[in-house]
Structure 1
Amino acid sequence: MLDTSRDPVPAPTDVPPGVPVDAPGEEARGCLYALSQPPLMIFLGVIGCLLLVAAVHDLFVL
């Protein structure tokens, strides 16, 4: 049965085994780090060029 009590539940202080703990010296990597990766930028560039070619084709050829 679900616990439907309205009492606040304290956050667990124990970390289960097998869960990696963030090192204090490591910085969180976000969106800007992902966008700085060359394979992703090449992929996004190819997709952008394909969209541009399709748009130009629709506007000027059709």
Structure 2
Amino acid sequence: MRCLSCAMICREMLDTTQSEAAPPPPKDEPRGCLFALSQPPLMIFLAVIGCLILMAALHDLLLL
């Protein structure tokens, strides 16, 4: 004998019709971290900070 609750679960799992309460698909996909890193002002800022750190490291290694 089959369990009635198992049969109900299986029927619900096989039902692929759309319900009316389903949320609409998103219009715009959220943009992630790689999009933010590709922006020119941020890249310029990171390049300046990197150069300052490099200059400080070279100053410590070569002049002190």
Q: Same fold (TM over 0.5)?
A: yes
Q: CA deviation at 1:57?
A: 0.3
Q: How many pairs were matched up?
A: 40
Following the alignment from structure 1 to structure 2, what is the Cα–Cα distance between the partners of residues 61 and 25? 57
> Runs of 5+ in structure 1 lacking a partner?
1-22
Q: Distance in 2 between matches of 1:56 and 1:27?
A: 43
Identity, in percent, stands at 73
For residues 21-43 of structure 1, give each alpha carbon's deviation from its aligned partner in whole angstroms, at most 9, with x where no partner exists: xx712111111000000000000
Q: Secondary structure of 1:50's partner?
A: helix
Compare the two structures and name the one with the higher helix fraction.
Answer: 2
Q: Which has the larger radius of gyration?
A: 2
Unaligned runs of 5+ in 2: 1-24
Query: Which aligned segments of 4 or more residues in structure 1 are displaced greater than 6 angstroms?
Result: none
